[in-house]
Amino acid sequence: MKAIVIYESLTGNTRDAGDLIAAELRASGVDTKSCAVDRVDLQWLSESDLVVVGTWVDGLFFFGQKPGRPWKLAKMPVIDGKKTVIYCTYATDPGKVLDKLQGVVERRGGDVIGGYAIKRNDIVGGASEFVDRFMGAAEVQSKLAKA
């Protein structure tokens, strides 16, 4: 199995989470590469069975939250029906960022099968929990097996 982690990061938290997610996937036996949304390895993407997309939460503390730099995410390469999981990093409240990110990813062709919000003061624990949840879910395992 092969995966790619694509992230949009402002301060480095989402990049760090993406790199940790990629490391956790590799430790689980999944050949994985991590890259910024504006530097996606297109060959790796085309060969991947799983796509992980992450962003940071932009907006005010309790309202108006949106995926960070949505124009960059909207221009990410087409995913063409690949199984996709999403994540966001946040400080106070992720709001509906995962729902909004899911819409962006689906417009790029991704088949979103799960998502997780990672608090920025626990990037390591959040990344590990995220991978444990989606790799351990029976639905994810069966969907990936069909990929």
Query: Residues 70-129: pLDDT tens digits?
Result: 899 999 999 998 999 999 999 988 999 999 999 999 999 999 999 999 999 999 999 999
Picking from 8-12, 58-62, 91-95, 110-114, which range would have the lowest pLDDT averaged per residue? 58-62
- Determine the Cα–Cα distance for residues 4 and 50; give it in Å rounded to an integer: 7
Which of left, alpha, beta for 97 (phi over 0: left; psi -120 to 50: alpha)?
Answer: alpha
Higher confidence at residue 134 or residue 47?
47
Q: Which residues are CB-neighbours of 142 under 8 A, at least 6 positions away?
A: none
Phi first, then psi, for residue 65 (nearest 5°) are -70, 145
Domains of the chain, by residue range, sit at: 2-145
pTM score? 0.92
Structure tokens at 32: 């994985």
Q: What is the CA radius of gyration of the chain?
A: 14
Place domain 2-145 in its CATH homologous superfamily: Flavodoxin domain (3.40.50.360)
The mean pLDDT value for 51-71 works out to 87
